[in-house]
């Protein structure tokens, strides 16, 4: 992996360490405080990037054993679909392991959908740094049977159940705090968005928080009818917002609230770039083919990132209409590095 890609992967995993620490995982890291943590997006992303960090992966599984009731199955589904079959089957293995350890039928719908990805992937080591450790014919190592069912080879996971529960006084856990207040339905996540962003349409908000548009629309109309939200425009074109200071005071929140980031899109965008390089090493050795791949990635991931939050929307984005050849790659690399720095600052304590 080239230096910029390694640095980008390290930036992403550093963000994830701080977010897991804020959620209560047993990690030696400063908890994130400046941007809202999306627990479903974080778990899915760990199934992608955690394959290069066994400690992070297993501590995330440990947290899931203790806190699985905090996770929303339908959001796990919607977020993982963007990452593709490889991450979906890894998520399925993690949730299957949690079900096996707790002796409960956890996340049956998510695991069932993830099984559809098994036909599209090959059996391999879970952790990239262990390639050949279990799959070599001479190996006597016994892989974990649960992960083996998902075509993933690894040893017995180290889950000691040292994880705690999220500190709901941490501003970064606003989404979980509101779920604790409003319940498990969509209202909590819609309110999380409205408390941290200027407002939006039902379609736009649904895309950011990974819900179906119809459900978000019903919540917004209910909030409007109750006098909590305001709107302008008609059905399908309405824009909704709230008096953030007034609602925050009612909920007992401080004057400053964390930044909203659509972490599902952010983590997915970075993963798509790094996974493409990992999956097509020969093409990236050819300048022309590499440029074409980087051009296609630019079209795919740049909109995901610039629409993921206000801080990212202000960054200069690559413009393929004004670039050619190797310029695609240089512009995209520079953009990803800048985004990574901004996001790391938002994930800081």
- Classify domain 171-250 at the CATH topology level: Arc Repressor Mutant, subunit A (1.10.10)
Cα separation of 295 and 320, whole Å?
7
Q: Say yes or no to pLDDT of 319 above 90.
A: no
More confident call, 320 vs 282: 282
Cα separation of 9 and 12, whole Å?
5
- pLDDT of 136: 75
Mean pLDDT to the nearest integer, 236-241: 90
Cβ neighbours, 10 Å, residue 303:
13
215: its two tokens: 């459900």
Cα separation of 78 and 110, whole Å?
10
- pLDDT of 349: 63
pTM of the model: 0.95
Q: Say yes or no to pLDDT of 103 above 60.
A: yes
Cα separation of 77 and 110, whole Å?
6
- pLDDT of 295: 87
**pLDDT tens-digit readout, 8-66:** 999 999 999 999 999 999 999 999 999 999 999 999 999 999 999 999 999 999 999 99
pLDDT band of 208, cuts 50, 70, 90: very high
pLDDT band of 1, cuts 50, 70, 90: low
Return the C-alpha torsion angle 310, 197, 202, 222, nearest 10.
180
Cα separation of 106 and 71, whole Å?
10
Provide the 8-state DSSP code for 163: -
Q: How far is CA 69 from CA 63, 90, 184, 185, in A?
A: 11, 20, 10, 13
Least confident of 97-101, 129-133, 342-346: 129-133
- pLDDT of 81: 96
- pLDDT of 2: 67
């Amino acid at each position: 992996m080239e230096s910029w890609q390694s640095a980008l992967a390290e930036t992403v995993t550093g963000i994830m360490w701080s977010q897991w620490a804020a959620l209560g995982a047993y990690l030696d890291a400063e908890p994130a405080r400046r941007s809202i943590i999306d627990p479903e997006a974080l778990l899915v992303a760990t199934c992608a990037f955690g394959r290069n960090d066994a400690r992070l992966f297993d501590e995330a599984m440990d947290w899931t054993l203790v806190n699985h009731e905090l996770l929303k199955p339908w959001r796990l589904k919607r977020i993982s679909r963007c990452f593709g079959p490889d991450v979906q089957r890894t998520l399925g293995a993690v949730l299957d392991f949690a079900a096996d350890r707790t002796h409960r039928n956890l996340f049956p719908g998510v695991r069932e959908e993830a099984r559809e990805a098994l036909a599209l992937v090959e059996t391999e080591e879970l952790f990239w740094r262990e390639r050949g450790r279990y799959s070599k014919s001479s190996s006597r190592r016994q892989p974990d049977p649960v992960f083996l069912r998902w075509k993933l080879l690894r040893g017995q996971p180290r889950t000691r159940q040292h994880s705690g529960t999220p500190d709901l006084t941490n501003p970064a856990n606003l989404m979980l705090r509101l779920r604790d207040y409003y319940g498990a339905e969509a209202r909590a996540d819609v309110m999380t968005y409205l408390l941290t962003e200027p407002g939006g349409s039902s379609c736009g908000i649904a895309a950011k928080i990974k819900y179906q548009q119809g459900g978000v629309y019903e919540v917004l109309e209910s909030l409007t009818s109750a006098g909590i939200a305001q709107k302008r425009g008609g059905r399908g074109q309405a824009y909704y917002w709230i008096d953030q200071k007034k609602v925050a005071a009612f909920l007992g929140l401080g004057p400053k609230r964390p930044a909203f980031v659509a972490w599902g899109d952010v983590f997915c965008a970075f993963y798509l770039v790094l996974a493409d390089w990992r999956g097509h090493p020969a093409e990236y050795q050819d300048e022309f083919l590499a440029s074409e791949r980087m051009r296609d990635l630019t079209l795919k991931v740049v909109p995901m990132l610039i629409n993921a939050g206000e801080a990212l929307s202000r960054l200069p984005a690559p413009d393929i209409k004004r670039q050619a050849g190797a310029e695609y790659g240089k512009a995209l690399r520079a953009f990803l590095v800048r985004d990574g720095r901004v996001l790391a600052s938002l994930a800081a304590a």
